[in-house]
């Protein structure tokens, strides 16, 4: 592996590991607000207990997310210096906004939420939870805007030095690609948070402990997951997919394993892409569906990879194809699980249906895997571009950093992340063992 390959691997590893934590904090932030609103409306202190319990899970995730996110900032300078020099004048705006405003707001109000409950009125404590939600979701938006610019660069121009400079801040900040990508991503985060809450509640019911708290968490988690599943598909998923079809048709063709252009194009449910022979082996397809999903017409023509120069294809079509289908497949499975849970909840039988509680308890990793596969789809689909249509990935790495140096730091980060991960799991296990009732008995400053 050369320096470029090591730099790509290091960033892929660190950002994949890092995003395991923010996706849960953003999902929990919304549900904590729901729990606090429920506490005020019902006057039942057990809603406060549940909010407090998951607030602590949030705090632990937030801390580990900060630790694992720092290396990515350094990589812009160490491994991707030419990219930083070229695009830093544009993406620096949103990265600075995320750090200076959203991150600090999230940090400050997390402190108020965790340690200020007895000093604040119930409504003020709800306000702290609400601002925690706003801070975490604003942080996500600024990061998504940065990525959306790399996918669909707008609001910038090439300056006299040859580097990009901001031309229209409004156009950059409110890029249509960013809006739909953000909506799609936050629905995924809400699903991750909802399935995590549901898994904890299901475990408590299976163990016959914290039963009243479990009923609260289970009801909120299942309903939130159901809403997020629906919104994930339409309109955000639909609109984001149509943007990919319009602006990145090569990525769409690779995602579907489509090599030859055709009207009334079929949607591949599964198959094995054979890039060497330009075909999809053993496909199971839905006729006409891809044309409609991509362009809103059953008769629309969908261009295949063969219509484009080979040097503009994603450099790993197979991995892109499978990542996309893993995302869609797991999303379908999660929707089926939550539909069954919603039906049993409506009938008042969910907490007594042990086989379904087992499924809900064990399903929590699926949203993480689906989200990771979704981000892999977005990033692999953008290749070979770092900034789509403007800078290729091979042009953005640091010119004077050797592959050995990047490999050395990669091994170091992997070792550090292993230690952090083990410590995180131990602390989460400790919190789960204590439960919400024990947390409510402690003093809150």
* pTM, to two decimals: 0.94
| pLDDT tens sequence across 74-83 | 899 899 999 9
Which pLDDT band holds residue 438 (cuts at 50, 70, 90)?
low
For the chain, the three-class secondary structure string (H helix, E strand, C coil) is: CCHHHHHHHHHHHHHHHHHCCHHHHHHHHHHHHHHHHHHHHHCCHHHHHHHHHHHHHHHHHHHHHHHHHHHHHHHHHHCCHHHHHHHHHHHHHHHHHHHHHHHHHHHHHHHHHHHCCCCCCHHHHHHHHHHHHHHHHHHHHHHHHHHHHHHCCCCEEECCCCCEEECCHHHHHCCHHHHHHHHHHHHHHHHHHHHHHHHHHHHHHHHCCCHHHHHHHHHHHHHHHHHHHHHHHHHHHHHHHHHHHHHCHHHHHHHHCCCCCEECCCEEEEEEEECCCCEEEEEEEECCHHHHHHHCCCCCEECCHHHCCHHHCCCCHHHHHHHHHHHHHHHHHHHHHHHHHHHHHHCCCHHHCHHHHHHHHHCCHHHHHHHHHHHHHHHHHHCCEEECCCEEHHHCCCCCCCHHHHHHHHHHHHHHHHHHHHHHHHHHHHHHHHHHHHHHCCCCC
Which pLDDT band holds residue 105 (cuts at 50, 70, 90)?
confident
pLDDT at 231 over 90: yes
- Residue 118: the pLDDT is 87
| pLDDT tens sequence across 259-274 | 999 999 999 999 999 9
| pLDDT tens sequence across 68-103 | 988 888 899 899 999 999 999 999 999 999 988 888
């Amino acid at each position: 592996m050369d320096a470029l390959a090591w730099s790509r691997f290091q960033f892929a590893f660190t950002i994949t590991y890092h995003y395991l934590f923010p996706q849960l904090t953003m999902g929990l932030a919304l549900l904590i607000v729901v729990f606090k609103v429920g506490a005020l409306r019902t006057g039942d202190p057990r809603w406060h207990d549940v909010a407090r319990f998951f607030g602590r899970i949030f705090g632990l995730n937030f801390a580990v997310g900060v630790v694992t996110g720092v290396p990515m900032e350094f990589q812009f300078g160490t491994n991707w210096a030419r990219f930083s020099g070229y695009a830093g004048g544009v993406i620096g705006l949103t990265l600075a906004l995320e750090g200076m405003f959203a991150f600090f707001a999230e940090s400050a109000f997390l402190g108020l939420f965790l340690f200020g409950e007895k000093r604040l009125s119930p409504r003020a404590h709800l306000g702290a939870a609400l601002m925690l939600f706003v801070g975490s979701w604003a942080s996500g938006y600024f990061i998504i805007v940065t990525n959306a610019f790399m996918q669909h660069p707008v609001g910038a121009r090439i300056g006299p030095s040859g580097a990009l400079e901001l031309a229209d801040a409004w156009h950059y900040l409110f890029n249509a690609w960013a809006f739909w990508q953000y909506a799609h991503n936050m629905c995924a985060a809400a699903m991750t948070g909802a399935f995590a809450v549901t898994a904890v509640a299901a475990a408590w019911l299976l163990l016959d402990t914290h039963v009243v708290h479990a009923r609260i968490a289970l009801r909120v988690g299942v309903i939130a997951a159901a809403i997020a599943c629906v919104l994930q598909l339409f309109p955000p998923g639909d609109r984001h997919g149509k943007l990919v079809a319009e602006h990145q048709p090569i990525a769409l063709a690779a995602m579907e394993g489509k090599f030859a252009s055709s009207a009334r194009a079929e949607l591949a449910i599964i198959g094995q892409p054979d890039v060497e022979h330009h075909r999809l082996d053993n496909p199971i397809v839905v006729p006409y569906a891809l044309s409609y999903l991509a362009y809103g017409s059953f008769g629309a023509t969908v261009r295949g990879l063969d219509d484009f120069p080979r040097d503009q294809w994603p450099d790993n079509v197979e991995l892109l194809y499978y990542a996309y289908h893993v995302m869609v497949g797991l999303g379908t499975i999660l929707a089926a699980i939550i539909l069954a849970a919603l039906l049993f909840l409506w009938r008042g039988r969910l907490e007594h249906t042990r086989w379904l509680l087992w499924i809900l308890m064990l399903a929590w990793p699926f949203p993480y895997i689906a989200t990771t596969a979704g981000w892999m789809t977005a990033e692999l689909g953008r290749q070979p571009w770092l900034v789509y249509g403007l800078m290729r990935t091979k042009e953005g790495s640091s010119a004077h950093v050797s592959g050995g140096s990047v490999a050395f730091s990669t091994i170091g980060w992997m070792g550090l992340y292993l230690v952090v991960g083990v410590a995180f799991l131990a602390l989460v296990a400790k919190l789960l063992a204590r439960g919400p009732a024990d947390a409510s008995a402690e003093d809150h400053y």
